[in-house]
Every structure is written in C-alpha cells, then in structure tokens.
Structure 1
C-alpha cells in the first residue's frame, strides 16, 4: 500500500453535527484542504488522520444519505 504524507498543520477541523456535546465518540473533518478531506478522532487530535479525495468523501456522504452504503 502506498502512503503519502499530507501537511495537516493548516487544517481547520470541525466536529460532526451528529457528535453531540458529551465529548465521547466524536469525529472531526477538515474540508479546507484543496482536493482532499481529512477525518480524525477528536479524542486524539495529534493522532493519525484519514485523508481521502473530495470526490471519495462526496460519494461516501451520498451513500450514507441515500442508503446505498451500509456501514
């Protein structure tokens, strides 16, 4: 598997609106990075992030929304 390093120092993270306020199982997404989306665990902001293309992120969200992607 190829791994590419992304510079996420300028990422502007936002918490999912579905996460609630408990501070538990939260996901944060950075969408200000050209052509990519980054996802991380809010409990471990210095930990790894999943980086995908903007088009892959859109397909993921569409699949979740319209029910064609079962997770």
Structure 2
C-alpha cells in the first residue's frame, strides 16, 4: 500500500499526472461514500443504456438529462 501511494505521489510531483487523477475515486463525499462508489454505478448504467448524462448528477436517476451516444 505504501509503495502504491508513494508511486502516485511521485507521479504527481514529477508532473506525469495530477493529484485529482490519481486520487479522485478515493475522495469522500458528504454522504460518506467515496466518489468512486457514487460514480461507478452511473458508469455501469451509461454502458447498459447507451446514453450519457449531459451533467454529473450524483444520486439522480440515470434517465434524467441524458443524450444518445452515437458511434
């Protein structure tokens, strides 16, 4: 665990990555869930439904404000 965190911090320090990119999924939201726990189910719905919300709506139904994905 320590090596993983150190590698992420070194990537940020050297400019290879940004802090948010390395740790965003682990940010704790006001409801006590991590950002990853809040967003991953929405990503699953996006792939199943084939539509993408036009704004981030944490906790909102996936059907609200969606656009069709065209390949």
Q: Flag the structure with larger Rg.
A: 2
Q: Please identify which structure carries the higher helix content.
A: 2
TM-score bracket relative to the smaller structure: under 0.3
- Considering Cα pairs closer than 8 Å and 6+ residues apart, tell me whether 1 or 2 has the greater RCO: 1
Q: What TM-score, normalized to structure 1? A: 0.27
Q: Please identify which structure carries the higher strand content.
A: 1
